[in-house]
Amino acid sequence: MIEGGGDMKFGVLGTGMVGRAIASKLVSRGHHVMMGARARGNIPATEWAAAAGNNARAGSFSEAASFGDILFNCVHGAHTLEALEAAGHDALRGKILIDIANPMDYSQGDPPLLLYCNDDSLGERIQRAFPEVRVVKTLNTVGFPSMVDGTRIPGEHDMFVCGNDVAAKAEVSLLLREEFRWSNVIDLGNISSARATEMLMPLFLRLWKTLGTFDFNIQVVVKPKA
Ligand SMILES: NC(=O)c1ccc[n+]([C@@H]2O[C@H](COP(=O)([O-])OP(=O)(O)OC[C@H]3O[C@@H](n4cnc5c(N)ncnc54)[C@H](OP(=O)(O)O)[C@@H]3O)[C@@H](O)[C@H]2O)c1
């Protein structure tokens, strides 16, 4: 459990902007983090670990998954299942996996398509392929600087979570609040709601282009009951 921050072990799978932002924030909060990549000695991961201090280390996907009590999937959406296979079922078993990835397909240019949607999602594909993992989908609907600081964008706005494991969602919601300062978290139910949050990406990417910034978020406004 996250209780007041500090001293937990996290595995962050992925070395891109998202993985580095998540890993750096967790280290700054006093946690121990291993960043995982396809290969040991991955340059972005080893450079990140060298710069981030004593609580930071780098390894393979498998090593990072074994290291962390809670894991983050910050891998390219199209390659997430390969990365998790490389991490291995034994290393993942029983752990919370916070899935931030979106299944984007840039093969036909920009803006990208989703590889699949409507009746399936990456979150569900992960949960089906790794039934022993407690998948919680969240943070995939905002730009990476906002993921680790829900107050970066002023005012009231919302973060979504979904997943099949109620206790895992509660633990992740606490982590979002305590570590990443997200105070408005909406639970969308089971992992099939990953379809909905992944389908926000086409809107997100168009808003980014239109507004010229990804420092924005969605606010869900509810009419008070009469
Ligand atoms: N950027 C954002 O603001 C934002 C917002 C919302 C959601 N997301 C999602 O967050 C995830 C991470 O985004 P990102 O921009 O930080 O990084 P990215 O470029 O999408 O992914 C980088 C990671 O993918 C791994 N990877 C690439 N090809 C692979 C393959 N064939 N097999 C296994 N692993 C492979 C890389 O492994 P190596 O380290 O070994 O190279 C690296 O760790 C994505 O799914 C993205 O859709 C991003």
Q: Which pair of structure tokens corresponds to residue 180?
A: 């990443």
State whether the beta carbon of 79 lies less than 6 angstroms from ligand 1. Answer: yes
Structure tokens belonging to residue 147: 């993921």
Q: Which atom of ligand 1 is nearest to the CA of 101?
A: 45
Domain membership of residue 27 as a residue range: 9-211
Residue to substitute in 75, 85, 144 for testing ligand 1 pocket (most ligand atoms within 8 angstroms of CB): 75
140 lines ligand 1 (CB under 6 A): yes
Cβ–ligand 1 contact at 216 (below 6 Å): no
Q: How far is 61 from 66, CA to CA, in rounded Å?
A: 9
Among the atoms of ligand 1, which is closest to the Cα of residue 19? 16
CA distance 188 to 197: 9
Residue 217 lies in a domain: no
Query: Which one of 42, 63, 74 would you pick to mutate in the ligand 1 pocket, going by the greatest count of ligand atoms within 8 A of its CB?
Result: 74
23 pocket-lining for ligand 1 (C-beta < 6 Å): no
Q: What pLDDT, on a 0 to 100 scale, did the predictor assign at position 6?
A: 76
Let me know if residue 220 belongs to a domain.
no
Contact of 181 with 147, CB cutoff 8 Å? no
Kindly report the CATH number assigned to the domain that includes residue 32. Answer: 3.40.50.720
- Give the Å distance between the CA of 71 and the centre of ligand 1: 15
Q: How confident is the model at residue 1 (pLDDT cuts 50, 70, 90)?
A: very low
Give pTM, 2 decimals.
0.97
Ligand 1 lined by 82 (C-beta under 6 Å): yes
Cβ of 77 below 6 Å from ligand 1 = yes
**pLDDT level of residue 178 (50, 70, 90 thresholds):** very high
Number of domains composing the chain: 1
- Shortest CA distance to 86 belongs to which of 127, 49, 39? 39
Our separate counts of H helices and E strands in the chain read 10, 10
* pLDDT tens digits for range 12-68: 999 999 999 999 999 999 999 999 999 999 999 999 999 999 999 999 999 999 999
Residue 52 lies in a domain: yes
Segment 99-134, tens digit of pLDDT: 999 999 999 999 999 999 999 999 999 999 999 999
Is 83 within the bounds of a domain?
A: yes
d(C-alpha 174, C-alpha 137), whole Å? 14
Residue 1 inside a domain? The answer is: no
Has residue 226 been placed in a domain? no
Q: What's the chain's Rg over C-alpha atoms?
A: 17
> Does the residue 216 lie in any domain?
no
Q: Note whether residue 224 is domain-resident.
A: no
* Ligand 1 center–CA 222 separation, angstroms: 34
User: For residue 193, is it left (φ>0), alpha (ψ between -120 and 50) or beta?
Assistant: alpha
